[in-house]
């Protein structure tokens, strides 16, 4: 398949000085095929528009003007250190910054909750990779989601959520946001008509995961964006499973992309983080104001780890996808497997949509085991190369039982997962070893 292309600065652009750098992603423009919501919220307070660090932007020198995703992933936000020439951004493990007189900030930095140079580098990189106007990094994916919901919603507002979603996201809506007076309802987001039917005059947000967790459902982003925007609502897409290498929701009409950076973006199971990438500057500033006001920011070392992981995202996702395709094919032919959930399979109900909006089908595979829940648990316990554990997206392969692990919070709800379901996060090991391990685990 052809490489993902992302708009880049023109070759004759003069690199901005540190004090003149534009906001992240200003050179990054995309034609929007979908009407933006007509309503707009009040602008953030005046101090939000002068957020520390906001003057820095994505910059690549003239010798790095490639439009290919793989090159952008390595160089966007990764400016060589001006003092030493170090090609990797330093870890600015600092809380405060010397000022040149009262209000005389160096590069816009005053306090690391508001901005930190290492985090800014990551945020620039994320904005570039997703094609957004502003990227923001948080302490976790749920911290990012909480900040987003408090920015977009007020008591009395309504949200449409998918009938298959990460258990933590469901818990946030069901146990936390509800107490704030926000209402929500569930819809099958693979059906735009079902999304439209679930909306009310108070709906402000439509929330989508595609592929979804853990049932690997596929939503037509462009179609649901149109439904949301026609009703004056915003579309939020959790792009954690696909990553920006395989899918770019903002170009399909989404307003905000959410990531758990813990997963594929970090890629090595050694960091926890989250991100928001906004499609327009005004929304980006509102989110940035709330990020600073609420304070659940990514630390410098965590930011550095994710920035490192992003550099190898493309090659890792290629391998994840290749291995997952082989494993899904094997599972479809195994006598103890009743069904396989993987959008790369032609029989998957979302296959055609996934093929249209994704570069490849990713590294997540779920399957149902003959014999029910106890048989599924037995398969998880028998695996040897696959590590039994929560989370996903690392270089190592993981296996889990969603009903008793990651999605236990959905029990008894419309999002409850089948008891015979097993979820795989397929790593980048030799695929023959992975196949052999699953075959012995299945018995």
φ, ψ dihedrals at 262, nearest 5°: -55, -30
Instruction: Report the alpha-carbon angle 208-363-350, nearest 5.
Output: 45
| Catalytic position from the list 157, 164, 238, 302 | 238
Distance from C-alpha of 73 to C-alpha of 69, rounded to nearest angstrom: 6
Side by side, the strands of the sheet bearing 158-162 are 134-138, 274-278, 256-260, 234-238, 203-209, 158-162, 183-187
List Cα–Cα distances, 222 to 161, 228, 251, 385, in angstroms: 17, 10, 9, 39
φ, ψ dihedrals at 222, nearest 5°: -60, -40
Distance from C-alpha of 310 to C-alpha of 313, rounded to nearest angstrom: 5
Identify whether 289 is a catalytic site residue: no
Instruction: Quote the tokens at residue 172.
Output: 């946030």
| Catalytic position from the list 22, 30, 36, 113 | 113
Identify whether 238 is a catalytic site residue: yes
Identify whether 263 is a catalytic site residue: yes
Find how far residue 434's CA is from the centre of its chain.
26
Question: For 121, how many CA atoms within 13 A lie in the half-sphere containing its CB?
Answer: 29
- Quick check: 146 and 134 in contact, CB under 8 A? no
Question: Could you tell me which residues are beta bridge partners of residue 159?
Answer: 184, 205
List Cα–Cα distances, 428 to 9, 216, 354, 388, in angstroms: 34, 20, 22, 16
| Catalytic position from the list 92, 97, 109, 166 | 166
As to burial, measured by CB atoms within 10 angstroms (0-12 exposed, 13-18 middle, 19+ buried), residue 432 is: exposed
- Quick check: 412 and 419 in contact, CB under 8 A? no
Catalytic annotation, residues: 113, 166, 238, 263
């Amino acid at each position: 398949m052809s490489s993902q292309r992302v708009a880049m600065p023109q070759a004759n652009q003069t690199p901005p000085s540190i004090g003149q750098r534009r906001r992240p992603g200003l050179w990054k423009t995309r034609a929007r095929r979908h009407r933006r919501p007509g309503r707009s919220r009040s602008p953030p307070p005046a101090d939000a528009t002068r957020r520390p660090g906001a003057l820095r932007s994505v910059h690549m020198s003239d010798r790095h003007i490639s439009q290919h995703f793989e090159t952008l992933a390595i160089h966007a936000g990764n400016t060589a250190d001006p003092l030493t020439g170090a090609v990797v951004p330093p870890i600015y493990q600092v809380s405060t910054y010397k000022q040149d007189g009262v209000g005389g900030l160096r590069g816009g930095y005053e306090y690391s909750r508001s901005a930190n140079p290492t985090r800014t580098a990551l945020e620039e990189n994320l904005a570039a990779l997703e094609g957004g106007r502003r990227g923001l990094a948080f302490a976790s994916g749920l911290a990012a989601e909480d900040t987003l919901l408090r920015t977009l919603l007020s008591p009395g507002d309504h949200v449409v959520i998918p009938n298959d979603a990460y258990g933590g996201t469901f818990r946030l809506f069901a146990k936390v946001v509800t107490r704030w007076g926000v209402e929500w309802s569930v819809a099958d987001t693979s059906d735009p008509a079902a999304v439209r039917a679930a909306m009310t005059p108070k709906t402000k947000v439509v929330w989508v995961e595609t592929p979804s967790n853990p049932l690997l459902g596929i939503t037509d982003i462009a179609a649901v964006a149109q439904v949301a925007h026609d009703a004056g609502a915003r579309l939020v897409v959790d792009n954690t499973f696909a990553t920006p290498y395989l899918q770019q929701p903002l170009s399909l009409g989404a307003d905000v992309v959410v990531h758990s950076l813990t997963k594929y973006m970090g890629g090595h199971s050694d960091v926890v983080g989250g991100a928001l990438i906004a499609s327009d500057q005004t929304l980006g500033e509102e989110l940035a104001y709330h990020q600073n006001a609420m304070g659940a920011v990514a630390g410098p070392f965590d930011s550095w780890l994710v920035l490192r992981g992003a550099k190898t995202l493309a090659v890792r996702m290629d391998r994840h996808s290749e291995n997952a395709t082989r494993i899904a094919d094997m599972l479809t032919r195994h006598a103890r497997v009743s069904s396989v959930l993987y959008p790369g399979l032609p029989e998957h109900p979302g296959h055609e949509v996934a093929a249209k909006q994704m570069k490849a089908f990713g590294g997540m595979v779920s399957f149902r085991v003959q014999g029910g829940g106890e048989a599924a648990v037995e398969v998880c316990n028998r695996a040897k190369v696959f590590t039994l554990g929560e989370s996903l997206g690392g270089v190592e392969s993981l296996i889990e039982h969603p009903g008793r692990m990651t999605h236990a919070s959905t029990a008894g709800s419309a999002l409850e997962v089948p008891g015979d379901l097993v979820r795989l996060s397929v790593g980048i090991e030799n695929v023959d070893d992975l196949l052999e391990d699953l075959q012995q685990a299945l018995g």
